[in-house]
Amino acid sequence: MNENAPQNFTPLSSLGEFGLIDRIKGNFTPRNAEVSKGIGDDAAIYAIGNGEVHAVSTDLLVEGVHFDLSYVPLAHLGYKSVVVNLSDIYAMNCVPFGITVSLALSNRFTVEAIDAFYQGVKKACEFYGVDLLGGDTSSSRSGLMISVTAMGRGRAEEVVYRNGAQVNDLVCVTGDIGAAYAGLQILEREKSVFLKNPEIQPDLGGFDYVVGRQLKPEARKDVIEELRTANVRPTAMIDLSDGLASDLRHLCRDSNTGATIYEEKIMVDHQVHTIAEEFQIAALTMALNGGEDYELLFTVPLDVFERISMVKDVYVIGHIEDVSAGVNIVTQSGGFFPLEAQGWNHFRESE
């Protein structure tokens, strides 16, 4: 039998991104005792002694998949590449201290362009108090690729994993969501207008907030610090990179729970509503499936309700249920729907 016969190959689309990660994870159980979390959370966690841990997380950004240089300024891209990784460190309730940045570049980039990228990297390092520790540089034949790894530290007992949610816990989200996706729609629209008629200048007027959320997101360092001050430790946490629906399902799957959330409790900026109307997409769809918000989704015990209500920019949007209940949303009109995970699956058949 020919092992290479096409019928023996399985298309990646049959697994999807998350299925593929599960498959890899199944083959690599950590063998070192200091590793308390390997594959499967926002960052890996390993003990460094005296009750201290380090957190490490990595992300790969690929031109044409994650960003489009026709409307993303390189300084913003440098900033965002760092921030999306720091967000994963905060999502473990750890504090980042270092990054490495690796680039694959083609000749079309100038020294000035790379300087601009690193200005963004530097700005993020300054704002979040992290050091650029190294990286790697390669040539590329197919666009720009950016790989950033972030490292953080924390106390073992303070680390928050995705899998700690308990029935009756409150489900909390920071800030408003759907804005980064709405901003992307505006940038894509202006790009297609420009391609049809280069005389027309982009019109981003009135949409500065959502465009900013897409081009220059922030990690919720502030909320992590405020939770610490308020003496609230979440039971489970994840950052919102794929979209609330997908990320809540991850958290519930790992915690072996269900959840109910309420549309009326979810913060959505008015610019998102305006854009949703213009593009004829429900604002709720943008909020649930948009992704790239880099807000935090976490759960806390019911008895800290008063304390959590005092923390700025944290909203209680629902509660954790038994696994048998599933993961559902109650809409403003009283509908009750299972949350479909439509996060960005890079291997979707249609792509």
Q: Contact positions toward ligand ADP, by CB under 6 A?
A: 21, 24, 39-42, 59, 88, 241
Whats the size of the chain, residue-wise?
A: 351
Partner whose binding site includes residue 269, from ligand ADP, Mg ion, none (CB under 5 to 8 Å by kind): none
Q: Is the CB of 63 or the CB of 239 nearer to Mg ion?
A: 239
Binding partner of 59, given ligand ADP, Mg ion, none, CB within 5-8 angstroms per partner class = ligand ADP
Q: Using the minimum distance from each CB to ligand ADP, give the nearer residue, 21 or 200.
A: 21
Give the interface size with Mg ion as a residue count (CB under 5 A). Answer: 4
Smallest gap from Cβ 15 to ligand ADP, in A, equals 12
21 binds, among Mg ion, ligand ADP, none (CB under 5 to 8 A by kind): ligand ADP
42 vs 269 by CB, closer to Mg ion: 42
Smallest gap from Cβ 54 to Mg ion, in A, equals 17
Closest CB to Mg ion: residue number: 42
292's contact among ligand ADP, Mg ion, none, with CB below 5 to 8 A by partner kind, is: none
Out of 88, 169, 190, 321, which residue is the one contacting Mg ion (CB under 5 A)? Answer: 88
CB 144 → Mg ion: shortest distance, Å?
22
Residues 6+ apart with CB under 8 A from 171: 248, 259, 261, 297, 298, 299, 316, 317, 318, 319, 320
Please report how close the Cβ of residue 14 comes to ligand ADP at its closest, in angstroms.
Answer: 17
242 lies in the binding site for Mg ion (CB under 5 A):
no
Q: How many CA atoms lie within 13 A of 328 on its CB side?
A: 14
169 contributes a contact to Mg ion by CB under 5 A? no
Which residues are registered as beta bridge partners of 63?
A: 67
